[in-house]
Structure 1
Amino acid sequence: MEASQRMSAQQILTLTLNPALDISTSTEQVVGAHKLRCSTSRVDPGGGGVNVSRVIQRLGGRSIAVYTAGGPVGEAYRRLIEAERIPSVVVPVQGSTRENFTVDETSTGKQYRFVLEGPELTEDEWRACLDLVIQAVPPGGYVVASGSLPPGVPDDFYARVVRLAQEGGARCIVDTSGPALRGALAEGVFLVKPSRRELEEYVGEELNSPESQVEAASTLIARGSAEYVALTLGEAGAVLASTSGVVRLGVPTVKVVSTVGAGDSFLAAFVLRLAQGRSAEEAFKAAVAAGSAAVMTPATELCCRGDVERLEAGLLAGMP
């Protein structure tokens, strides 16, 4: 059986402190002060780490998703995760799990995304998440800390997760922004996946040229902030930086339907292929394939395995 069809050889743990019930719909035109008649809505369980686990499962791998859930929305969220049979551990919280809304404007093709703030977590609740990380760190495997931090959670939370993963013999992958990203990079992560905007915010300057993008990613490597930097650039492709050098990859030509979930799909394929024993460059190509496959699907739908494997095969064929 091909490696891409096997379950991951090394265990993957994902962590989502601020999950969201993603609701998507469409209307002909978004106009202020009017009732907008919308199409049938779609509901998906979203949030960085959870989406990573969902894509890993779609690609034939296995992970354990740790996430918070509270209130009626949290209960609906939990049922959706159970329906997809994602191995998971839930941390109950007092506040209600948030909701996000995506509206496609059919007359223009524009997409409007409304991201709500999550519930405030108590110290006992966010510490319970850390305790679960301690218990579930997979030695020799990967811990994926992904998504925003909800109110009440300290900025150094992901930095603490990095330390716990390292102490447990696992490699930590981080996908977040702002102070949470800064704290994690100060600890030194295995892999970080910033978007261009997130990296610009981190370095404090615009990265308009390919040269400036490569320099910023390479600087993180030189400082020991990360072993790998996977910089995603949307339709401009992606950059992978490490001590071995820099690889830049363009995206396959596909029809863009919705960009929601592209980054999570990218990260999921990357970590899964690494866990399956693939090289970093092979994993990078799989990641670009998965991110490209995700934009082919509507609304908050994630990538489809067939699309990922087809695009991945094309990218791998171009390897020396």
Structure 2
Amino acid sequence: MINTITLNPSLDYIVKVDSFKVDSLNRIAEERIYAGGKGINVSIVLKNLGVANTALGYVAGFTGDEILRQIESHGVTCDFIKLKEGFSRINVKLKSDGETEINGSGPDIKNEDLKILYEKLSHLTKGDFLILSGSIPNSVPDDIYESIMSSLADRGVEFIVDATKDLLLKVLKFKPFLIKPNHHELAEMFDVELKSDEDIIKYGRKLQEMGAKNVLISMAGDGAILLPENSEAIKREVPKGELKNSVGAGDSMVAGFLCGYLRNKDIDEAFKMGIATGSASAFSEELATKDEVDNLLKQIV
């Protein structure tokens, strides 16, 4: 079974204003509201690709109810913990001459709430995948990912981690099956400037030396580099298309990679599927669908 965790989901409110003016009335030209969170994106795309999975995390209040409604409308099984107080955050993205983001903070998660999550995860066994992705709320310990993986370390669970800097570096000792930093995050982890593919491979290998099995480094329009376990690095270009929305593209790459891997355990085929799926989301206003992914796979040689 595949499980995703989104500790701080949101309702993302995307508005477009023709020419935004400060201290003035602005009329919205276009608006959308959707459930946001990296783990949620992974769950939805996996389901779009025909892979059953369960989404876990925390929700609260009327916004939490809408988040659950939207996730379930995609056919994803939800096992979120409903908090008694507060409400799930609302993130606002204003698109006009530029882009402005305002992110909420989310509800407080107490120790008793964490115990419930650990209880749910205690049922995972060998062969299950757990995907930990995204930032964490201020109300939980900053070693939460490390603690979760430690609690499951002897159960044979495969981990996929998509997080930044210390949140990722501290869990490498648990030998995650896959990690997916982008090239900017990789540079930040080691406080270096990456000037070439060789630099990216060099520092990606350092993450493997620290414990990661497979390292997938996304580079937006410049493609991606995969460092497979016990094999040579592979670089692939992205398919051609018009960039419409970069939100969720990295999460879609993770979902596509796992979907491809589950088919026949072929890492390179998983890589192709990951690139096609990430690109399909980038070329669409919504998250990738199976038909979109299948069409882009034909471009990947």
Is TM-score (shorter-chain normalized) higher than 0.5? yes
User: 2:151 aligned with 1:164, yes or no?
Assistant: yes
Instruction: Kindly tell me the number of residue pairs found equivalent between the two proteins.
Output: 299
Q: Give the counterpart letter for 2:102 in structure 1.
A: F
Deviation (angstroms), 1:251 = 0.9
In structure 2, give the amino acid aligned to 1:230. Answer: L
Aligned 1:206-245 pairs, distance under 5 A: 206-223=193-210, 225-242=211-228, 243-245=230-232
State whether residues 175 and 181 of structure 1, in contact with CA within 8 Å, keep that contact through their aligned partners in structure 2.
yes
Within a 5 Å distance, the mapping from 1:75-114 to structure 2 comes to 75-93=65-83, 94-105=85-96, 108=97, 110-114=98-102
For 2:12, the equivalent position in structure 1 comes to 22
**What is the alpha-carbon distance in structure 2 between the residues aligned to residue 305 and residue 111 of structure 1?**
30
Measured against aligned partners, the alpha-carbon deviations of 1:141-177 in whole angstroms (never above 9, x if no partner) come to: 3111111111121121111222334322111000111
Identical-pair percentage:
29
* Partner in structure 2 of residue 178 of structure 1: 165
AA aligned to 2:204 is A
Residue in structure 1 matching 2:28, options 19, 27, 38: 38
Partners of 1:185 and 1:293 in 2: CA distance: 29
Q: Distance in 1 between matches of 2:64 and 2:266?
A: 38
Task: For 2:258, give the aligned amino acid.
Answer: V
Q: Do 2:153 and 2:174's aligned partners in 1 also have CA atoms closer than 8 Å?
A: no
Q: Which aligned segments of 4 or more residues in structure 1 are displaced greater than 6 angstroms?
A: none
Query: 1:95, 1:121 within 8 Å by CA — same for their partners in 2?
Result: no
Whole-Å separation in 2 of the counterparts to 1:77 and 1:102: 17
SS of residue paired to 1:66: strand
Measure how far apart 1:73 and its partner are: 0.9
Does the Cα contact within 8 Å between 1:57 and 1:86 map onto a contact in 2? Answer: yes
Q: Which residues of 2 match residues 73-152 of structure 1 at below 5 A?
A: 73-93=63-83, 94-105=85-96, 108=97, 110-135=98-123, 137-152=124-139
1:63-112 deviation digits (Å, cap 9, x = unpaired): 1111210011111212222222211101112331111222332xx5x444
What is residue 189 of structure 2 aligned with on the other side? 202
Answer 1 or 2: higher relative contact order, Cα 8 Å, separation at least 6: 1
Matches of 1:182 and 1:260, distance apart in 2: 24
Contact 2:12–2:92 under 8 Å retained in 1 = yes
What is the CA distance between 1:34 and its match in structure 2?
A: 2.5
Deviating more after overlay: 52-61 vs 27-36: 27-36
Q: Give the distance between the partners of 2:59 and 2:22, measured in 1 at CA.
A: 33
Alpha-carbon shift at residue 276 of structure 1 (Å): 2.4
- Structure 1: gaps spanning 5 or more residues: 1-10
User: Could you tell me how far 1:114 is from its partner in structure 2?
Assistant: 3.3
Give the CA deviation at 1:182: 2.2
Aligned partners of 2:126 and 2:25: how far apart in 1?
Answer: 53
Alpha-carbon separation, structure 2, partners of 1:144 and 1:221: 18
Task: Report SS of the residue matched to 2:139.
Answer: coil
Deviation at 1:297, TM superposition (A): 1.4
Which residue of 1 is the match for residue 264 of structure 2? 277
Give the 5 Å matches for 1:269-308: 269-298=256-285, 301-308=286-293
> In 2, are the aligned partners of 1:141 and 1:275 still within 8 Å (CA)?
no
* Residue 43 (structure 2) pairs with residue 53 (structure 1): yes
Q: Is the 8 A contact 2:47 2:75 kept in 1?
A: no
CA contact (8 A) 2:17 2:30 kept: no
